[in-house]
């Protein structure tokens, strides 16, 4: 029995609509969504291409940062005044005033969420990436590329389907340093 090796094909499309139609056609001939990757120089959502929503941990990381920020704000607002050896009571004002406490809690909660969201997106996108990536320079000119992983047996079928769907070029992908 012969083993079929995986081949990476890189198809370049002039616009978003032919690329979306090609993705739909590739699904119909049996290529799974996990075997397709869209490379674009502009932000393209999954809904624009009819692809399933990608799972990310950024909301969880942001919530963790918000909780840590709230904890830091709580410490500053409620614990710090009691650390003084001789607390100062000013007239009838409460020892921990309400409005400044709300401001400190809100600001540190938002700061924690902002910093953790940035860190989460940074780590989720695997940035910086120093290993060679599959890329074509036409993507920088506004074109859309689809990287398809298929077997040697399906290579000709996929190439013909992509050409029929309006691909400007379909060629084997090779990794290069960006």
Complete domains list, the chain, with CATH: 6-42+142-176 (3.30.70.120), 57-83+95-139 (no CATH)
**At CA 66, angle to CA 64 and CA 68, rounded to 5?**
70
Which of the four pLDDT bands, split at 50, 70 and 90, describes residue 1?
very low
Q: Which ranges of the chain would DSSP assign to H, the alpha helix? A: 16-28, 46-49, 58-74, 80-83, 98-124, 155-164
Which of the four pLDDT bands, split at 50, 70 and 90, describes residue 34?
confident
pLDDT tens column, 148-168? 888 888 888 888 888 888 888
pTM: 0.64
């Amino acid at each position: 029995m012969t083993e079929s090796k995986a081949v990476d094909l890189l198809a370049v499309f002039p616009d978003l609509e032919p690329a979306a139609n090609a993705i739909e056609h590739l699904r119909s001939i049996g290529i799974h969504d996990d075997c397709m990757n869209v490379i674009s120089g502009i932000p393209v959502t999954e809904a624009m291409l009819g692809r399933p929503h990608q799972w990310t941990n950024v909301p969880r990381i942001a919530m963790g940062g918000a909780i840590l920020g709230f904890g830091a704000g709580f410490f500053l607002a409620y614990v710090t005044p009691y650390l003084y050896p001789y607390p100062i009571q000013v007239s009838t004002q409460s020892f921990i005033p309400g409005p400044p406490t709300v401001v400190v809690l809100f600001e540190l909660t938002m700061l924690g969420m902002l910093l953790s969201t940035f860190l989460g997106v940074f780590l989720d996108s695997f940035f910086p990436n120093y290993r060679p990536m599959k890329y074509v320079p036409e993507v920088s000119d506004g074109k859309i590329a689809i990287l398809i992983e298929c077997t040697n047996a399906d290579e000709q079928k996929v190439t013909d389907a992509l050409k029929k769907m309006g691909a400007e070029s379909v060629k084997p992908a090779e990794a290069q340093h960006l």
